[in-house]
Amino acid sequence: MTNTWYLYLFFAAALVFAGLLGLLGKRNLIKLFIAIEVIGKGISLLLLSTGFAKASILTAQALVITYIVIEVSLVATALALIINIYRQTKSLDIRDLAKLKG
Amino acid sequence: MVLQTALLIGLVIFSVLAILLKDLLKSAIALAAASLLLGIIFFRMNAPYAGVFEISVVAGLITVLFILTIALTGAGHDVRESKLVNWVFPLVFVAFIVIDALVMKSLLGKVPALPSGTEAGTFGDVLWKGRTLDLVGQIAVILAGVFAVLALFRKRDKHD
């Protein structure tokens, strides 16, 4: 079981790191949000694989479903914010948000 | 085990593609493909409910929301990404994979986790009886999301 757990943890860490790199390097707001989604995928894989390895898959499933519901709410709100930002600045560039002139 | 490893490798490849591809539409579709693979991995880990949620909600609904936003914002052609990132990203990522492979095995015993224990009952018992407060929290989060979207798309009334 430890070998399987190792495999899942290895790939979950890779997903989280890929998302972090995307967050650091990209400038498009939608791209940044896709990177956050990738980090979320890594976290849900980590949760479920730990539940699988520790023989508590049912609790892990309940946690992952809670996370997915929160994710949907977060995505809807964040994409609405992105659309509003685009209407204000006519751009999706994150650097335009650094100019806080009114 | 081999199939599971192949699915995990596919998941990482599609996730990296979702970040690296220049076309936002292709990125969103790569993210949906990654969600689909994650859902299949959940199914194979004896977690059918999480798999169904992952495929229907994340691969379906969230992808639709992403594509809608991309359509409404004109695909963000105006954003000039740094060219350095396209070179640095794969190099740093491969370096991390090597470090990950070397370090993760020694971390396994040290990462705190709940002790192993067998669970009794069905998934419904665990969700409705064991995690009742989570469900209440989910309802609150959905309502908060709905009100946030309503507030963000509010139209100006005549008094403003």
Q: What is the mean pLDDT of chain B?
A: 86
User: Residue A102 pLDDT > 60, yes or no?
Assistant: no
Which whole number is the average pLDDT over A50-79? 90
Q: What is the pLDDT of residues B62-119, one digit of tens each?
A: 999 999 999 988 766 667 777 787 788 889 989 999 998 888 878 777 777 766 767 7
Q: What domains appear along chain A, each with residue ranges and CATH number?
A: 3-96 (1.10.287.3510)
Q: What is the largest CA-CA distance in chain B?
A: 65
Give A27's contacts in chain B (Cβ within 8 Å). Answer: 79-82
CB contact under 8 A, A21 and B92: yes
The answer to which of A88-92, B28-32, B90-94 has the lowest mean pLDDT is A88-92
pLDDT for position B43: 93
d(CA A53, CA B46): 12
Closest CA to A29 of A100, A68, A87: A87
CB contact under 8 A, B89 and A25: yes
Q: What is the mean pLDDT of chain A?
A: 88
Per the structure block, which two tokens stand in for B45?
Answer: 């880990």
Which whole number is the average pLDDT over A77-90? 88
Give A82's contacts in chain B (Cβ within 8 Å). Answer: 69, 73
Which whole number is the average pLDDT over A67-96? 89
pLDDT for position B56: 93
- Measured in angstroms, the CA of B154 and the nearest CA of chain A are apart by 11
C-alpha radius of gyration, chain B, whole number: 21
> Any idea what DSSP says for residue B23?
S
Q: Regarding the domain delimited by B1-81, which CATH topology (the fold level of the hierarchy) does it fall under?
A: Four Helix Bundle (Hemerythrin (Met), subunit A) (1.20.120)
Residue scoring higher pLDDT (A94 or B26): B26
Q: What percent of chain A has pLDDT over 70?
A: 95
Q: Does the CB of B147 have a partner CB in chain A at under 8 Å? A: no
d(CA B7, CA B3): 6
Give the CB-side neighbour count of residue B117, counting CA atoms within 13 A: 7
Give A53's contacts in chain B (Cβ within 8 Å). Answer: 116
Instruction: Tell me the count of A-B CB pairs closer than 8 A.
Output: 233
pLDDT for position B61: 92
CB contact under 8 A, B19 and A15: no
Q: What are phi and psi of A27, to 5 degrees?
A: -120, -20
pLDDT for position B158: 65
d(CA A82, CA A84): 5
User: Residue A38 pLDDT > 90, yes or no?
Assistant: yes
Q: Does the CB of B103 have a partner CB in chain A at under 8 Å? A: no
Nearest residue of chain A to residue B76 (CA atoms): A92
